[in-house]
Chains A and B, each alone.
Chain A
Amino acid sequence: MAGHDHYSDEALRSILRRCRTIAMIGASPNWVRPSYFAMKYLQGKGYRIIPVNPVAAGQTVLGETVLGSLDELQAPVPMVDIFRNSEAAGGIVDEIIRLRDDKHIQVVLMQLGVRNDAAARRAEAAGLEVVMDRCPKIEYGRLSGELSWSGVNSGIITARVLRL
């Protein structure tokens, strides 16, 4: 994708259609944390979410066993969602680049508020698609129309029934 200040709806829609298995780095077993909300919502939409969090390795979150590292993932995992701060995202991106072919990773997504342009450039040079400062739950909700149920401006103008 060209530029990281704006992503087209078409590009985001394509990613959410293609990537039905998502590794979620920093997924929390604490049910009031944002990552838990996102995981639960996306599971409800038919996504497989694999939690990765060394602090909680071996625990079960929403029916999934938490992995200690990305190395433990079973391919294919088309998307990795980074629920860590912008600085930590740099090292994680390097790990993803190392595992790209092995785990069939296509897309790196950094959560809302997470942005690391240098890491994004490295990932893109390695052939990965990068989205930063976005939440897959919120984008799914926006593009499917569900976010509008809470009065959020989807920006979508259409005379057709909205489908993701």
Chain B
Amino acid sequence: MNDGDRRYGMETRAVHAGARPDPATGARQTPVYQTTSFVFDDVEHAASLFNLQTFGYFYSRLTNPTVAVLEEKIANLEDGRAAVACASGHAAQFLAFFTLLEPGSHIVSSRYLYGGSVTQFTKSFARLGWQADLVDPNDPDVVEAAIRDETRAIFVEVLANPGGIVVDIEPLVEIARRHRIPLVVDNTLATPCLIQPIHWGADIVIHSATKFIGGHGTSMGGVVVESGAFDWFASGKFPGMTEPEEAYHGLTFAETFGDFGFTMKARTVALRDFGPSLSPANAFHLITGCETLPLRMQRHCDNALEIARHLETHPKVAWVSYAGLESSPWHGLARKYLKNGFGSVFTFGLKGGFDACTRMVEASGLFSHLANIGDTRSLVIHPASTTHRQLTSEQRATAGAADDTIRLSVGIETVSDLIRDLDEALERA
């Protein structure tokens, strides 16, 4: 039976959501619709599609049947209303903010961010006239004080990269509601298996699907999910949602598309006009990866906790920042917000500092030295000399990427093999 009335578990949804048998062929696995374009029935059908009066495919820059399966799958896993996928996590952030912001707009962001996002927000967004303040997200007074008349969003990574930091989002939901602006939560590191931010009151959820969702290090991709609960009209701060859009002959997105109006606008204006579309082939790889997301996340988290505990007792290790450890200042928040585990990306410090870190990274035989996270393979990096090198020393320290810091993304290999490899590398550090 075609039943939308039942509740299904995360594992069932990871496999099935969005991925019903292909209506054209009955193909059971999602086909790769590797095509740029789709024929119109007639001129009238074409007009309806361009006017957004009917649902349908015409050009893969906007919509594609393979990409759509990924979009619905992630929207479903996050218990959101709708989603738009794009070429990368960075593109997802751009689509979300282009849809929310005008020149002169401002965002209040957590300062615990992926280094590339710090650069995107403070350098490239500034050139579009978007201002960003990066603050301590776990101090509600500081967040509140940073909000101005022009502020249009609060942004956080709920489980932050790279430091194993958990953000207390409940007080931020209150602040966002009081100021009638959306709370935008990046859920890349936790995934919906550990937390569904929409259940806590987030309005928009962002993913770099490149990481755990795809999970195998094969394909770039990003997703923006909309909760459907934000009331654009009551807010009154988003004329782009509530007033006629010139680019579509005066259509009003929040009125015509209701609780998925934000997704429609992100797709049909930002994605259409800037073009960071997800390729169907990449969507296929991300869908296939996502089917095993709950299984993989459990192993990722179990391995990471065991490794973090081991490192904490190692004589060359100065500190370990993993939210799953009782010693972590974020452990209480992690217990409150995360279920099933504490993620697999975390940092630790070497007593030997910068030089010891580079020696350790180069000595590992099983941890791959590269810039990604969320792969089946275990990964290691020294952020200060790589991902975070464009930041100042002070910015690096506040982002949890100081000179003595090593970041691990723990994979799904046999955990005793990983621990042995780390021990050997530490010996040479």
Contact = CB atoms under 8 A, between A and B. Distances in A.
Interface of A: 8-10, 31-32, 34, 36-37, 40-41, 44, 112-113, 135, 138, 141-143, 145-163
A154 B83 CA distance: 11
A156 B3 contact: yes
A147 B210 CA distance: 25
Contact of A157 (B13, B48, B248, B267): B13
B2 A149 contact: no
Given A151-B267, A161-B21, A44 B54 contact: yes
B344 to A, nearest CB: 27
B82 interface: yes
8 nearest CB pairs, A to B: A151-B71, A153-B75, A155-B4, A9-B4, A156-B4, A146-B55, A152-B82, A158-B2
B65 interface: yes
B327 interface: no
B72 A153 contact: yes
Contact of B68 (A32, A142, A143, A151): A151
A158 B65 contact: no
Interface stretch (B176-184, B255-263, B303-311, B316-324): B255-263
A164 B221 CA distance: 32
Contacts of B46: none
Nearest to B258: A112
Given A44-B54, A156-B20, A161-B23, A150 B2 contact: no
A152 B81 contact: yes
Most buried by B among A36, A44, A152, A158: A152
16 contacts: A31-B249, A37-B53, A37-B256, A40-B53, A112-B258, A141-B55, A143-B4, A145-B23, A148-B72, A150-B68, A150-B263, A150-B267, A151-B84, A152-B260, A154-B72, A156-B3
A8 B18 CA distance: 19
Most chain A beta-carbon contacts within 10 A, residue among B3, B53, B55: B55
